Structure 1
């Protein structure tokens, strides 16, 4: 099966343009993963290869043809999926979508493909008519390819995707930047959960990470923990279960590195004692605010499994920039 990164990067003809299809707008379907993308590229043999999928494959039939046409020019198309077909594809319900198809020149397409293959963050920003595109890649999204038509808009787009990156999660966003409406897709590597300490809660956290599709590993020593947090990306997560003051060294390293989610379990007395030690070590009040402790949302958790749910729930809320609350109390779009 052809990989999306291979189609984007070029295979036997890296100079050839790529046609991509993305979801510009949608209604229905229930919760949908962001970063939907299908790509097509011509080969030296005159064939067109495609990779990726849209809405679990439910819209692949129209999208493949649209991607082929996008090799020449941008286009939009309305598509609808009936209830039975949506459920068969693993979606919650029927729905409709506006698909945006547009060409992607060889340089930005190759950069996007290499980022996918290398597991580094990448963003694709286009005007909503598909006429202009910008690809930004790198751990700090500091490498730009293509352009949106003006330095001001390019700078606004780069700043916007870096802001999204701080949430540590793949995202799709339709917004206005510098007076121009754009479609933004940001892809962030799957998070890795670092659990420091053993026991039933550590096992429950690993199980929750698996449910979310995150990587996870457990470590026991200060040296292992410190080395790990010093290499954190914005997507990575520390959950410190061990109350040993020696692990202050690891938290200090994480605060100074400034990347990822730092969570620490423990009673309020444990948190207060840790706070005083860190202040004495030269950590500022502003830096201390980056430690989530006691980590977890107040869900009334009592068992290790319930506590693990509360911990990952806080991670998700922080990464998405949301103030947690019941969906029934909100007025925004569900799943947005």
Structure 2
């Protein structure tokens, strides 16, 4: 919706429009979540959802929505390019939510544009029912909303769009409506220092969780894109130098995860000194045995790291899952990251009382 936000603000004072957005995808698809198209009462079309595969069908739905005022959801799957069915030729599926938007949304949309221009993370949550409700979400927002606010803020924190709700009732017994959360923020970052099997496994897990994953190692032979296909970027540089440059450039924030997995003090210690000296990093973890941890702490103290700064380091990183393999270790580390991000206990659900989605 970012691409057509200006047009939406211009058109709404002239009358209601139909807004169609991609809210879910499966498999290969031509557009990302949140891709949007506007259809006016006079039949003008702005934006695109699929590069032409399903636009005509969506326009027809939009015209019905403008007439009835009731939102609809359409799902399009694979369709042979030579066949009569409407669908995608790429083999994927998309779900499109079409709703009538009036000038009453102008204040929220104006506030949304202002936060985007300011570079502040923001999201729009939309209930996907016949009469949709909207809510503007910010990182400082703590107001309960239909029992989906916690899940919606988790998506905002991760910097990714998605659908929440509809799986169970909220704590008060009220239904949690299926809600599309469109996030306008860069994805949270995961910076992995090292170039080994543990880094390869965690890069896959981190990407699946919505992080933008960077692998950094000074050894050109090992730090290659071919060895780390799940990483968004592989950087050949001393990890502490790279992290320092990213910090100076303002590309590090409280959502950033740094994991030091090199198993080599000449890489690990300088990287941890830089990471622990940066108060804005949300999670700092280091892989290693108990003995490695004890030796590492002594080296960090000798480098001037204080006890308060050491208290921010998760070492040995990960939860006690009995992990042995790189893939198991990646799950252990990711579980700890998720638990700390959400302020959760990491205790087995059958050992605690109360709602799962608190």
TM-score interval for Structure 1 and Structure 2 normalised by the shorter chain: 0.5 to 0.7
Query: Within 5 Å, which residues of 2 pair with 1:146-185?
Result: 152-153=144-145, 158-175=149-166, 179-182=174-177, 183-185=179-181
SS, match of residue 50 in structure 1: strand
- 8 Å CA contact 2:18–2:98 kept in 1: the answer is no
Task: Identify the residue that residue 313 of structure 2 maps to in structure 1.
Answer: 288
Cα 1:253/1:21, change in 2 over 3 Å: farther
| TM norm structure 2 | 0.57
Cα 1:19/1:121, change in 2 over 3 Å: farther
Q: Deviations over 1:52-86 (max 9, x none)?
A: 426x8754432233345555723214445345466
Q: Which stretches in structure 2 are left out of the alignment for 5+ residues?
A: 82-86, 190-211, 342-358
Within 1, Cα distance between the matches of 2:135 and 2:140? Answer: 12
Within 1, Cα distance between the matches of 2:285 and 2:91? Answer: 33
Within 1, Cα distance between the matches of 2:114 and 2:55? Answer: 23
Q: Deviations over 1:83-125 (max 9, x none)?
A: 546672241xxx6857452426223334445666777543222
- 8 Å CA contact 2:223–2:235 kept in 1: the answer is no
Task: Identify the residue that residue 238 of structure 2 maps to in structure 1.
Answer: 220
Q: Offset of 1:13 from its aligned partner?
A: 1.8
Higher relative contact order (CA 8 A, sep 6+): 1
**Is residue 9 of structure 1 aligned with residue 1 of structure 2?**
no
SS, match of residue 62 in structure 1: helix
Query: Within 5 Å, which residues of 2 pair with 1:97-246?
Result: 99-103=97-101, 105-112=105-112, 121-129=121-129, 130-137=131-138, 140=139, 142=141, 152-153=144-145, 158-175=149-166, 179-182=174-177, 183-187=179-183, 188-190=185-187, 191=189, 192-199=212-219, 200-204=221-225, 207-209=228-230, 214=232, 217=235, 219-220=237-238, 222=240, 225-226=243-244, 228-229=246-247, 231-233=251-253, 236-240=256-260, 241=262, 243-244=265-266, 245-246=269-270
| TM norm structure 1 | 0.60
Q: Offset of 1:247 from its aligned partner?
A: 2.9
Q: Offset of 1:40 from its aligned partner?
A: 0.7
Count of paired positions: 288
Larger radius of gyration: 2
Cα 1:31/1:266, change in 2 over 3 Å: farther
Within 2, Cα distance between the matches of 1:209 and 1:51? Answer: 30
Task: Identify the residue that residue 90 of structure 2 maps to in structure 1.
Answer: 89
- 8 Å CA contact 2:123–2:181 kept in 1: the answer is yes
Within 2, Cα distance between the matches of 1:123 and 1:291? Answer: 35
Query: Within 5 Å, which residues of 2 pair with 1:308-323?
Result: none
Q: Deviations over 1:135-185 (max 9, x none)?
A: 225xx365x9xxxxxx7538x655442233344543321345573533132
- 8 Å CA contact 2:155–2:181 kept in 1: the answer is no
Within 1, Cα distance between the matches of 2:47 and 2:243? Answer: 38
- Structure with more strand by fraction: 1
Cα 1:194/1:116, change in 2 over 3 Å: same
Q: Offset of 1:310 from its aligned partner?
A: 8.1
Q: Offset of 1:7 from its aligned partner?
A: 1.6
Cα 1:124/1:215, change in 2 over 3 Å: farther
Within 2, Cα distance between the matches of 1:194 and 1:122? Answer: 24
Cα 1:205/1:293, change in 2 over 3 Å: farther
Task: Identify the residue that residue 147 of structure 1 maps to in structure 2.
Answer: none
Q: Which stretches in structure 1 are left out of the alignment for 5+ residues?
A: 145-150, 302-306, 322-336
Q: Offset of 1:206 from its aligned partner?
A: 8.5
Task: Identify the residue that residue 276 of structure 2 maps to in structure 1.
Answer: 252
**Is residue 51 of structure 1 aligned with residue 75 of structure 2?**
no
Q: Deviations over 1:191-210 (max 9, x none)?
A: 44444431244324885355
